């Protein structure tokens, strides 16, 4: 790949020009003024949460039906994760439940745009404005996803205080290793985040605060820059394949195909069905060599590390039901109609 050879010849492996070019391009795609590349999607959540300077007992509201990093980042930024349940159809945060969970200690919310479809950001932002809360969008699975708000399209990461993107290899825009980016409209926040990702210093050997090493490698930026022009077509191809599955799986009593909020353009990072026969279906698909995955088998309020938060099974019934019923079928831009037919046939046998 010539772009990689160029980086190797230049030997500017850290903070090379490609990083700044990628930051600009991804910010633009996300409708944001600034992009700050960092080492992972996890750090893209952690760094803006750190900026909030959370004090012991400060609360950050999120959902328990997400990848661990969402709540892990809240914890590592000294916040107390406060879980609220999800909406059954979308798997995304239930904004009515968020409102009920706000206390005088609430400082922020982390809505997750799960599986590639945006949470209802217009409602999240209205609530945040009313209560003076920061909003860190977990857009790790939703780069390029958009939602119609107020008559126009708004991108994942555009409206929150900051948005966190992941370039984990399996993501719609995947690097050849770990990587992430924070997007924001706020120039002051962007400046602060740039410092935090390089040990808190804008100038070398001068540290205004304690940051960390969370940079994106120039080689990864070069890979991502080469892929980025294709992202729109790849996500459209995922949508086509999702529509094909949904048509082919219609009419099965024991199966629910993904619901797309009419305001959303989904990027189908995952195509996630639900069925009470999930475990049997997973076994059948696996026996036939068809890859499938359970995201996520244990909701975060039931993880051992959050035991001290005091939640029991039954606390968040929709999240727990989703954890028992959700199964993600193979979806990627190159997935052939024949492969999809094999998947559909196996699903029909179990769920008919």
Ligand X SMILES: Cc1ncc(COP(=O)(O)O)c(C=O)c1O
Chain contacts with ligand X (rule: CB under 6 A): 40-42, 66-67, 69-70, 112, 138, 140-141, 166, 168, 178, 180
For residue 108, the minimal CB distance to ligand X (Å) is 15
- Residue 184: CB partners within 8 Å, gap ≥ 6? 32, 33, 34, 36, 48, 161, 162, 163, 190, 193
Between 67 and 245, name the residue whose CB sits nearer to ligand X: 67
Between 140 and 248, name the residue whose CB sits nearer to ligand X: 140
For residue 179, the minimal CB distance to ligand X (Å) is 7
For residue 345, the minimal CB distance to ligand X (Å) is 29
Q: For ligand X, which residue has the nearest CB? A: 41
For residue 45, the minimal CB distance to ligand X (Å) is 6
Between 160 and 347, name the residue whose CB sits nearer to ligand X: 160
Backbone angles phi, psi at 210, to 5 degrees: -90, 115
Between 134 and 173, name the residue whose CB sits nearer to ligand X: 173
Between 249 and 329, name the residue whose CB sits nearer to ligand X: 329
Residue identified by tokens 């959050």 is 306
Between 214 and 257, name the residue whose CB sits nearer to ligand X: 214
Between 220 and 256, name the residue whose CB sits nearer to ligand X: 220
For residue 69, the minimal CB distance to ligand X (Å) is 4
For residue 139, the minimal CB distance to ligand X (Å) is 8
For residue 201, the minimal CB distance to ligand X (Å) is 24
Give Cα 345 distance to the centre of its chain: 30
For residue 166, the minimal CB distance to ligand X (Å) is 3
Hey, which residues does 182 pair with through a beta bridge?
A: 36, 164
Between 144 and 180, name the residue whose CB sits nearer to ligand X: 180
Hey, which residues does 243 pair with through a beta bridge?
A: none
């Amino acid at each position: 790949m010539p772009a990689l050879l160029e980086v190797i010849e230049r030997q500017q492996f850290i903070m090379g020009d490609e990083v700044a070019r990628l930051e600009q391009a991804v910010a633009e795609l996300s409708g944001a003024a600034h992009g700050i590349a960092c080492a992972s999607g996890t750090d893209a959540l952690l760094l803006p949460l750190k900026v909030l300077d959370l004090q012991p007992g400060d609360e950050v509201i999120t959902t328990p039906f997400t990848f661990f990093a969402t709540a892990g980042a809240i914890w590592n930024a000294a916040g107390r994760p406060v879980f609220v349940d999800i909406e059954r159809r979308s798997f995304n945060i239930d904004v009515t439940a968020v409102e009920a969970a706000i206390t005088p200690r609430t400082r922020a919310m982390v809505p997750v745009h799960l599986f590639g479809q945006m949470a209802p950001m217009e409602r999240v932002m209205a609530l945040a404005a009313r209560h003076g809360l920061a909003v860190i969008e977990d857009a790790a699975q939703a780069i390029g996803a958009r939602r119609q708000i107020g008559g126009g399209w708004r991108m994942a990461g555009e409206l929150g205080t900051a948005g966190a993107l992941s370039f984990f290899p399996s993501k719609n825009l995947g690097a050849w290793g770990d990587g992430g980016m924070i997007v924001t409209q706020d120039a002051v926040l962007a400046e602060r985040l740039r410092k935090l990702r390089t040990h808190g210093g804008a100038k070398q050997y001068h540290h205004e605060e304690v940051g960390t090493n969370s940079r994106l490698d120039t080689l990864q930026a070069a890979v991502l820059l080469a892929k980025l022009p294709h992202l729109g077509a790849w996500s459209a191809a995922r949508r086509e394949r999702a529509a094909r599955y949904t048509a082919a799986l219609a009419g099965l009593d024991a199966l629910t195909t993904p619901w797309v909020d009419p305001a959303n353009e989904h990027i189908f990072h995952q195509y996630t069905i639900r069925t009470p026969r999930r475990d049997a279906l997973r076994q059948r698909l696996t026996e036939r060599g068809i890859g499938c995955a359970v995201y996520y088998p244990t909701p975060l309020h039931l993880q051992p590390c959050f035991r001290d938060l005091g939640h029991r099974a039954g606390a968040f019934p929709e999240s727990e039901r989703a954890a028992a019923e959700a199964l993600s079928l193979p979806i990627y831009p190159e997935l052939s109609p024949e492969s999809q037919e094999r998947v559909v046939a196996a699903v029909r046998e179990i769920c008919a």
